Structure 1
């Protein structure tokens, strides 16, 4: 769908993401030799990645483009599970020295849990890191080191919705949570699943969006809450605005607004429901647009996006996510070759390879990367929040603290096993263990 070497137009101003602006202008590019001695001769690299179709397709596009220009390099992709199971795989393989040459993983708080200063190669001295925006570097920094190269686009957390369903029922994009519930009840009355939930195999991570995607509204109600949270001075269970995400999960279940098969529905099933209109709204990150484009191209124009609405219709904004990154574990035998691959990823040519493979779901974090003019409707909706400056980073990019059991807790609340208040309290306990493991002051 997208042409090679796209240089159509830039995505425009991307707004303030609080850590720093997303700089998209000017860059020399290209993957060449790194500051270390270049690899020579045939090289075989292995990269550990998660199993989502978007990740697999993105990495395959990068690998194909790189090996076409570097035929002496062979790159194998190795899959791991998603969610907390995948987190455990990454931690275990790092601890046992069994990690391959590179691996794909989150930026932000989940990275901090890997003890990057002890386990990962510091890239801060590499010239190719000059092209990575300061916004992204902040999310992959620990101590004095910078450890990751971004893959993919800036993302928004909110609700993907079926525009045809909205048009057929005469609904407008909600600006308050009450509006969202009202829309959902109207959709239910029409015989369509109002809010898609997907707690099936390998998909429990999707249950977190009502909590994590609501942070713009938490910050609007309690400015600076992330700092108090990190210092153990504020908690989900004693902050009404922070508990609301859990309460929203409870409300959706109690009002029967979820698809009846939410316990077995997978992430892939949910995207099919959304794209085909058997389900109307799916709380999700915008990276899912690339999978809709790949699997349901005829329905791509039917999917829009809006931020999770709060209580104040005059202040509607979006919670933003940094993309995932590629990292090099310490002690690898092919470090020089791995860095050369990262130099390619951190270049306009690398961005073009990704755009060719999966399309675009938001701005890149690499200077000089241009984007196509024919952006999908959901990405245009995302961009409007950036353009208006109505964005704020997700909590995991403002605080190193993120409990490992959140997805199990949100599944329990969304399934009616626990109340929202109970879920918030359980998560505070989960966070306590993580903060103590990190050795944070005040915990």
Structure 2
């Protein structure tokens, strides 16, 4: 009996020691994401689902601001060696500014990259390496609109900019805000310029190549300057809501859904936020591509999704790669759809969309049925994007500067960026 009694406490102590040792050996990773509702919700959902299947790994989610402030934080933390193990950030031109071959882990030889569609791999490639996996759906840039206002006023979806402005006139006369501006969140001010790139390409198919080579500028290119002029025309007509300077992104979504405003220039990732906040009212909202000058060349500017990257200085690169393998799988897509809904096509092999997608998603998918009706945004065709665009478009949309001076200022901004990237032709 004495032997048994003395043995049982010893077994208990050993069990506690072993459990404590196992806990101490658990791997802890940090993941940095921006503070937009969609990014944060998707990051938390993916992390929680992965940890449930991999109890030996703990991933802590850290949040940063969006926009240019967030860009500066990402670049600063990589430069100072204080970046998290994993982080969510843009694909395309903004990735190039991170000097990925020196700061990020190359994933090109990882088996899970076979699941990532080539169209996405091309926008996370640099110097022969591939650095990220998509952590959300593809997006369109254009105009979210209130369908009830359109029905009430007998309006049709415009296929030219003139038709769009004519609709705005009717909407203003009816007492609604024709166009919702949310310049407190400065990143939202860029859409009229950025979402116009499909229209630029219709007149100048080589703009992105010539721009990258330093042979084209926004101020001296008629179709590219017109993107800035469209924003100026909306301001001059008085079509923005009166509180455009103080309203933020979430205010814009509410105004759109509740019918205070008719049009909100925005990326379609906002559809998930509308579903989350307003539920079935999402069917009050539709979507159309930003119109250009010709109804025969009406198409969508497409954004590739943001990406998850691994910091080259991480102490747990193998575990971080395993998490990315989970994200780049059909299971990862399912987690995102379950958490924030289906807001666009996924860039992962085998990831489909449910039949009952929200109305604005259905509107967007029409542009993907014909390859001639969609084209990538400029930032996915050129490594050059100036960091000050959102401040410049706020000034144009507020009447502080005109379109030409804004385009000239942006040309100086992109020149500095191109020189930092060491591109030929920008001396």
Q: TM-score range by the shorter chain?
A: over 0.9
**Deviation sequence 1:371-393 (CA, Å, 0-9, x none):** 11100111111100000220010
Which of 178, 191, 199 is the equivalent residue of 2:162? 178
**Shift of residue 67, structure 1, vs aligned partner:** 1.1
Alpha-carbon distance in structure 2 between the residues aligned to 1:379 and 1:152: 14
1:312 aligns with 2:288: no
**Shift of residue 348, structure 1, vs aligned partner:** 0.3
**Shift of residue 61, structure 1, vs aligned partner:** 1.2
**Shift of residue 267, structure 1, vs aligned partner:** 0.5
1:68 aligns with 2:48: no
Alpha-carbon distance in structure 1 between the residues aligned to 2:84 and 2:411: 34
**Deviation sequence 1:222-277 (CA, Å, 0-9, x none):** 11110011111111001110011111111111110000000000001101111111
Alpha-carbon distance in structure 1 between the residues aligned to 2:174 and 2:56: 58
1:168 aligns with 2:152: yes
1:133 aligns with 2:133: no
CA contact (8 A) 2:149 2:262 kept: yes
CA RMSD of aligned residues (A): 0.9
1:263 aligns with 2:239: no
Which of 77, 92, 110 is the equivalent residue of 1:108? 92
CA contact (8 A) 2:85 2:313 kept: no
1:433 aligns with 2:416: yes
- Could you tell me which residue of structure 2 aligns to residue 26 of structure 1? none
1:372 aligns with 2:354: yes
**Shift of residue 64, structure 1, vs aligned partner:** 1.6
Alpha-carbon distance in structure 2 between the residues aligned to 1:244 and 1:273: 28
Alpha-carbon distance in structure 2 between the residues aligned to 1:160 and 1:278: 13
**Shift of residue 417, structure 1, vs aligned partner:** 0.3
**Deviation sequence 1:278-327 (CA, Å, 0-9, x none):** 11100000000000000011311111100000000111000001000000
* SS of 1:219 mapped into structure 2: helix
1:43 aligns with 2:27: yes
* SS of 2:31 mapped into structure 1: strand
Alpha-carbon distance in structure 2 between the residues aligned to 1:137 and 1:155: 16
**Deviation sequence 1:111-141 (CA, Å, 0-9, x none):** 0000001110101111111100000000000
**Deviation sequence 1:381-406 (CA, Å, 0-9, x none):** 11000002200100000001100100
Gaps of 5+ in 2: 1-23
* SS of 2:296 mapped into structure 1: coil
- Could you tell me which residue of structure 1 aligns to residue 377 of structure 2? 394
- Could you tell me which residue of structure 1 aligns to residue 199 of structure 2? 217
Specify the structure having the higher radius of gyration (Cα): 2
1:190 aligns with 2:174: yes
Which of 218, 229, 233 is the equivalent residue of 1:247? 229
Alpha-carbon distance in structure 2 between the residues aligned to 1:76 and 1:189: 51
- Could you tell me which residue of structure 1 aligns to residue 19 of structure 2? none
- Alignment length, in residue pairs? 402
- Could you tell me which residue of structure 2 aligns to residue 282 of structure 1? 264
Alpha-carbon distance in structure 2 between the residues aligned to 1:276 and 1:388: 33
- Could you tell me which residue of structure 2 aligns to residue 152 of structure 1? 136
**Shift of residue 41, structure 1, vs aligned partner:** 4.8
Alpha-carbon distance in structure 1 between the residues aligned to 2:297 and 2:202: 8
Which of 67, 87, 96 is the equivalent residue of 1:83? 67
Gaps of 5+ in 1: 1-39
CA contact (8 A) 2:344 2:365 kept: yes
* SS of 1:137 mapped into structure 2: helix
Alpha-carbon distance in structure 1 between the residues aligned to 2:205 and 2:56: 53
- Could you tell me which residue of structure 2 aligns to residue 11 of structure 1? none
